[in-house]
Amino acid sequence: MKPVLFALFFLTLFLCAGRAHAAVQEKVEKSEEEWRALLTPEQFEITRKKGTERAFTGAYWDHHEKGVYACVCCGALLFSSEAKYDSGSGWPSYWATIEGAPVVEKRDVSFGMIRTEVLCGRCDAHLGHLFSDGPPPSGLRYCINSAALTFIPAE
Ligand code: FE
């Protein structure tokens, strides 16, 4: 009996530790109807249907306040105003993500182009695309739809 209790004790410890870790990186999964209810039609079209807002029309392409930009779907912190720059593209552009941000890259061959799609790794929201014509120090350009983001001003 004793070894069984011992094993149960360790199994419980193991499961609790796993759960604590999972809480940090927990996946956000919702049905299409749930997302539709939570988002505006434009946010839904862009984040859940891989749409693109028209250049120079979004809320953040010409936005210069200090703060962070979170995923509009799940709230994950993705980009900082510190890495935002004016790319001239008409979309909010960043040369880096926030360190440790759940940003995922995926090859995208739609519309006859080979591009790198950028998604939120927590909820799979389509955010925009990643290009290699950004400024130093990274040379990267995260070209993101305003409608995929929520701005949180610095305090
Ligand atoms: Fe997200």
Supply the CATH number for residue 140's domain: 2.170.150.20
Flag whether 26 is in a domain.
no
**What is the tally of structural domains in the chain?**
1
For the entire predicted model, the pTM comes to 0.84
- Alpha carbon distances (Å) from 24 to 18, 27, 100, 119: 10, 9, 12, 18
How confident is the model at residue 128, as a pLDDT?
A: 98
H or E element in which residue 46 lies: helix 41-49
d(CA 3, CA 99): 44
Cα–Cα dist 95/79, whole Å: 9
CA-closest candidate to residue 101, choices 64, 65, 68: 68
The pLDDT of 36-55, averaged and rounded, is: 98
Active site residue 123: no
CA of 122 to the centre of ligand 1 (A): 5
pLDDT at site 138:
98
CA distances from residue 103 to 69, 91, 108, 118 in whole angstroms, order as listed: 12, 18, 15, 7
Tell me if 115 is assigned to some domain.
yes
Q: How far apart are CA 12 and CA 114, in angstroms?
A: 47
For residues 45 and 9, what is the distance between their CA atoms, to the nearest angstrom?
A: 48
Domain-embedded: residue 41 = yes
Predicted confidence (pLDDT) per residue in 51-78, tens digit: 999 999 999 999 999 999 999 999 999 9
155 — pLDDT class (breaks 50, 70, 90): confident
Range of the domain at 103: 32-153
The average pLDDT across 80-106 equals 98
Is the preceding peptide bond at 3 cis, omega within 30 degrees of 0? no
- Name the band, by pLDDT with cuts 50, 70 and 90, for residue 153: very high
20 within some domain: no
CA of 130 to the centre of ligand 1 (A): 17
**What pLDDT is attached to residue 60?**
98
Domain assignment present for 7: no
Mean pLDDT, rounded, of the chain: 90
What is the rounded distance in angstroms from the CA atom of residue 109 to the CA atom of residue 117?
9
- Band (pLDDT 50/70/90 cuts) for residue 25 is low
Asked if pLDDT for residue 21 goes beyond 80, the answer is no
**What pLDDT is stored for residue 69 in this prediction?**
98
Find the catalytic residue in 71, 73, 74, 143: 143
Ligand 1 centroid–CA 74 distance in Å is 4
